[in-house]
Each structure stands twice: as C-alpha cells, then as structure tokens.
Chain A
Amino acid sequence: MKWLTTLFTSSLGRKLIMSLTGLFLCSFLVIHLLGNFQLLKGDEGVAFNDYAYFMTHFLPIKIVSFGLYAMILVHAILGIMLTIQNKKAKGKTYAKSGTTNVSWASKNMGLLGTLILAFIFIHMGDFWFKMKMDQLPMVMSESLGFEVKDLYFRVAQAFENPVIVIAYIIGQLVLAFHLWHGFGSGFVTLGLNNKKYSPIINAIGRIFAVVVPIGYALIPIIHYLR
C-alpha cells in the first residue's frame, strides 16, 4: 500500500492529480458551455429551464456533479498547497527579476486559480445556491407538463446589471489565462511531450483557452444588450 500513498504524496504524484482533475474540469467547461448556450435561444428561457430541471433531477448527472464538486475542491486545495510550498522552496527571490521568456500565466497559476475559485463561489451563490434554496419563482413547463424553477428569470435579472456583466467578463479573462498554460501543461505532466503530438496539443490548448472563455463571456454580453 505504501507505493500508493507515496505515489500521491510525491511531487510528481501531486502533479498528476492536478493534471487529471484539471483536464476533467476542462471537459466540464465544454459541457457547461454547451448547456448554457440555451440561454441565447431567445425563447424566454423555456428550453433552458427544462434543461436545468433535467440537470438537477437526473440521477447519473447528480452523481457526476458531486464528483465535479470534489474535483474542483481537490484541484483548488492542492493547487493552493503546492503554491505555498513552492514559494517556500524558492525562499528569497531575486532583487532584479530577469527577462526569461516564459508566459506570464505559467508563473501565476496559483493567483489565477484563486481568482477562479472566488469566481466559482460568486457564480454558484448567484444561481446554484438561489435555486437550491428555493429562492426562484416557478414557471409552467409546457413540455414537461409541470412547474419548474425559473432559473432563466434569475439569469436574465443578473445580466441586466452592468457590474455583474463586467465581473463575468473579467472572470472569463482570468480563466483564459489559466487555460492558456494549464491545458498544455496538463498533458506534459501526463508525460506527453514530443515533436509529433505536442504541437497539436498545444495548438488545441491555445484555441481552447481563447474560444471557451469567449463563449462564456458572450452569454452575459448578449443578455445585457438585449
């Protein structure tokens, strides 16, 4: 059993956990974004509310979502621990900071990640928590034949406020930087770094880091403009 504990407590083992959870969270970003695009349908939220009902009442999805919360926590807590440990391992920093040409994002993953965690809390407090606490009005769903929670109402209400819209755009900017380094880095940690595949993975990573946050940012922007 010792091999298992040392696997996950060694520096490389913890890297592996960061990589696997991070890449899983990337896949979640895609699913969540595709679902959220229903907010843009212009149908006063009929499709979106049905979708929200399905996501909160279908057992397999409920199970996966608990896995997801766990992954976010593991990724965040371990990330913060590693950042603190790395600061300690570095000790004193240089009086004059050199110009090593590496990406800014790669050196600030801890900071970016902490901001994203804060964003997730605010975001969940805005929507998820309000839904769980029954603070939303009910609306009749034609297709389901019964009343469901009107999450769309809350989303539309939130994105009337320019402050919230700007906060969401900043949140996506932070996410973009985090992904800019994180996506490719996750694969390197898994041991994938070679001339054949790395250029492809890195290109996909960079596109992912730009397209996904833009997709998310479009939702509050379009809502606000409507």
Chain B
Amino acid sequence: MNLTLKVWRQKNDKASGKFEEYQVEATEHMSFLEMLDVLNEDILENKGEPVAFDHDCREGICGTCSLTINGRPHGPNRGTTTCQLHMRHFNDGDTITIEPWRAEAFPVVKDLVVDRSSFDRIIQAGGFISVNTGQAVDGNSIPIEKEIAAESFDAATCIGCGACVAACPNGAAMLFTSAKVSHLGLLPQGKVEQDKRVVKMVETMDDEGFGNCTNIGACHVECPKEIKLENIARMNRQYFAAKIKA
C-alpha cells in the first residue's frame, strides 16, 4: 500500500518545527512503527535525517511509543498502543498526519519524541509504598475482596504513556495520576500512606504545569489501557478527605 505521511519535524525543543511530506510503501501486515522504520530506511538511503520517534517493547506494555495519528493519540483504534496498531486499519492511498503528544508539560525533544519526565516526578512524589511490608507472606493471609483487587489491577495496567494528557484539550494529567493513586491506595499495603500520597502527587501534578480537569473524558477514550474515569472521581474524593482530615 502507498501512503502519504505528513510528519512533524522539529530539530530540538527550541526550534519551531513544521510538517514534512513523505511517500512510503508499506504492507498491511506491518505495525505502524515498522512502517516508520521503512520510512527511515528510505530517508537514510537518501542521506537525510531520520524521523525521531519513541519506542521500546513494541508489544504494548512499556508505554514508550507515543504518536498522535490523524489527531488521535495512538491512532484510530480503541485500547491500542501505536506499536500494536497495524497498517491494515489504513487504506491504500491514505494521507496520515503524525504529530507528537501536545502538552506544555511534555516538551518536544525532537520530531515526534517528547519529554515525559514530568510523569516520573509525579511518581517520585508518592507513587510507591515505603512502609515495611516484611517478608513475603502467605498468599491469602491478607483478605482482599475480589472486586477491590480487580479494580486495583485495572488501574495498575496504566503504562504511563501520556496519551491521556495528549488527548485532553486541557493538557490535564488526571487519568494517569488517579490511576497510580488508585492502584496503590485500594490495597491494604498502599492504604497506609494514601493521604500523603494523594496530596503529594496532586501537588506535583499541578507544579509540573498540567492543566485542570473539566471531566471531558477524552483521556479515557484514547487511553490504550482504557483506564476508567472512576479513578478520577476517587482521587477527587480522597484528595478532599486527606486535606480536611486533621
């Protein structure tokens, strides 16, 4: 299949950047990233500068790939990362626009690569358990209700890709932060530090320059792990409670 790509090219974080057009020949069995690999080989053959884009596991679990494809973070399919998106979902002759994640808290490093260390700093503020949990205990010695365990696990599937921020018209990081807060706070070991965690993580999220959530829900629509909006409400609740508690 023959495709026309409109790719965002930007030298570094200071440069202004612009779209470049490329022709590429792909097969429908390729993943989106493999199609870009082909493009980069073509560019290298012509002694050009290859397009920089982020990727690592290429199996949908690391959260490194991060492309806005035709205006949609991770492309048109629901619950799919860019690396798991295959070219069969496109048609021969299509023009595809590829842009980096857009948010002030995710500055462009080069071309399609953005700096997501703001997420790391949110995690550093409280996305961990520091109480001593002792030796590994017997499997079922701490009873946890099945629903709670599932809820926590669902939240834990967040891969920290940042598509939620990229999709949000406000550039808010509520879905990511609330997923992290929920995944730890729902379980007994995480509950101990939950008040501190929520307050610290929300404060860091604000300091990093993310926008304010207005409950639009675009984050959930574009999240490759379909993290639920309920997590956001839970974080609101826990934040207010933690603040008011003496």
Partners in one complex: yes
Binding site for B on A (CB under 8 A): 3, 6-7, 10-16, 82, 85-86, 88-102, 106-107, 109, 181, 184-185, 188-194
Given contacts A12-B236, A194-B230, 14 further A-B contacts (CB under 8 A): A6-B203, A10-B239, A11-B202, A11-B211, A12-B202, A12-B239, A15-B213, A86-B211, A86-B214, A88-B211, A90-B103, A90-B211, A101-B221, A109-B214
On chain A, the residues within 8 Å of B210 by CB distance are 11, 89
* Chain A binder among B30-38, B42-50, B80-88, B165-173: B165-173
B220 CB to nearest chain A CB (Å) = 9
Complex formed: what's the CA distance from A181 to B214 in Å? Answer: 9
On chain B, the residues within 8 Å of A102 by CB distance are 216-218, 221
Interface residues on B, range: 35 or more
A193 lies within 8 A of B19 (CB): no
Complex formed: what's the CA distance from A103 to B121 in Å? Answer: 32
B209 and chain A: residue at smallest CB distance: A89
B225 CB to nearest chain A CB (Å) = 16
Judged by a CB distance under 8 angstroms, whether B117 is at the interface is no
On chain B, the residues within 8 Å of A95 by CB distance are 6, 19, 71, 97, 99
A186 and chain B: residue at smallest CB distance: B215
On chain B, the residues within 8 Å of A90 by CB distance are 102-104, 168-171, 211
A96 lies within 8 A of B70 (CB): yes
On chain A, the residues within 8 Å of B68 by CB distance are 94, 98
Judged by a CB distance under 8 angstroms, whether B111 is at the interface is no
B71 lies within 8 A of A98 (CB): yes
User: Known contacts A11-B202, A11-B212: does B71 contact A97 (CB below 8 Å)?
Assistant: yes
